[in-house]
Amino acid sequence: MWTGILSLKNYWLPDAVDQASVAPKLSRFYSGRADYHEMTARQDKINHPQVRLLLELIKPTDTVVEFGCGGGVVLSAAGERAKEAIGFDIGDIALAKANGRPGKHRTIKSDVAKVPMPSDAADIAYSFEVLEHVWDPAAVIREMLRVLKPGGTLFVTTPNAYTMNLHLRLRRSVRLIHHMGAAATLVLAAMRKQPYENIPPDLDADPVYPDCDMITRVHPRSLVRFARQIGCEPLRIETFFFLSRKSSTDAERQRFERLERHPFYHWHGDHILFLGRKAR
């Protein structure tokens, strides 16, 4: 029982991470784990609901920029719809995969917190499941906003590490701890200056899994506040977006839609979808 309680404590209030010791190991992971890059470049990503939503937003006159393009699955599709599609990534294996895909997109090797692109140049800047893999997602969001034209669209998705797992059947005692943890993190999020905190990754996982290199978690409520502070008007913030669209029944979908509207549970779905508009 105590092991389970400790596990939940670490889930909601994880220990601080030693960035200096983890960063070199993380760099070796990205340069050497071909199986990880193979997994993140699967073609079925194009059918994910957030990708379909993005593609619906792109107009033929748009310049679109992907921060953390990985193997280029989404970038290639975006390039087919946009006037220009540019992808930034730091990983050589990922960029080789992206450059090998057909289409009119192009890639540039770059740290996504400081990209070689003029300000006010893009109509849409987006990232899918990237913020959880960088030490300072606030810097990345600022950079995304910088390259956007006034009135341009910022589109971000990232796992919600503050999820209460409301889609799972859990024991009442576990659910109670989740409620206490969720309430505590809302308070901490209100006090925290940054919209994120760093956490230790699981780089020794075998087999590899999508979030084994997750070093950051973003709080959705803090993200909204931060966006407003840097001149980005929030247009849409959801954490049950994926669950509602993957629902197998109407009753299940309606339940997630109700949770999305709830003032407390709204922040504790399994994934964050954020759309914003740069101030004109």
Give residue-wise pLDDT tens across range 51-90: 999 999 999 999 999 999 999 999 999 999 999 999 999 9
Question: Average pLDDT in the 177-198 region?
Answer: 90
Higher pLDDT, 41 or 21: 21
User: Does residue 120 surpass a pLDDT of 50?
Assistant: yes
Q: What is the pTM of this model?
A: 0.93
Task: Report pLDDT for 1.
Answer: 44
Percent of the chain exceeding pLDDT 70 equals 97
Task: Report pLDDT for 234.
Answer: 98
Domain ranges of the chain: 2-278
User: Does residue 5 surpass a pLDDT of 70?
Assistant: no
Higher pLDDT, 177 or 76: 76
Task: Report pLDDT for 7.
Answer: 65
User: Does residue 192 surpass a pLDDT of 90?
Assistant: no
Mean pLDDT for the chain overall: 92
Using CA atoms of 223, 271, 119, 30 in order, give the dihedral in degrees to the nearest 10. Answer: 120
Q: Cα separation of 222 and 193, whole Å?
A: 9
Task: Report pLDDT for 2.
Answer: 47
The string of pLDDT tens digits covering residues 140-156 is 999 999 999 999 999 99
Task: Report pLDDT for 138.
Answer: 97
User: Does residue 8 surpass a pLDDT of 80?
Assistant: no
Task: Report pLDDT for 6.
Answer: 56
Decide: 113 and 135 in contact? Cβ < 8 Å: no
User: Does residue 207 surpass a pLDDT of 60?
Assistant: yes
2-278 in CATH: which number? Answer: 3.40.50.150
Strand ordering across the sheet containing 148-159: 106-109, 84-89, 63-67, 122-128, 148-159, 271-278, 232-238
pLDDT band at 122 (very low <50, low <70, confident <90, very high): very high
Task: Report pLDDT for 141.
Answer: 98
Residue 246: phi, psi to the nearest 5? -95, 5
User: Does residue 3 surpass a pLDDT of 80?
Assistant: no
Tokens of 27: 């760099």
Q: Cα separation of 238 and 186, whole Å?
A: 16
Decide: 86 and 64 in contact? Cβ < 8 Å: yes
Task: Report pLDDT for 101.
Answer: 93
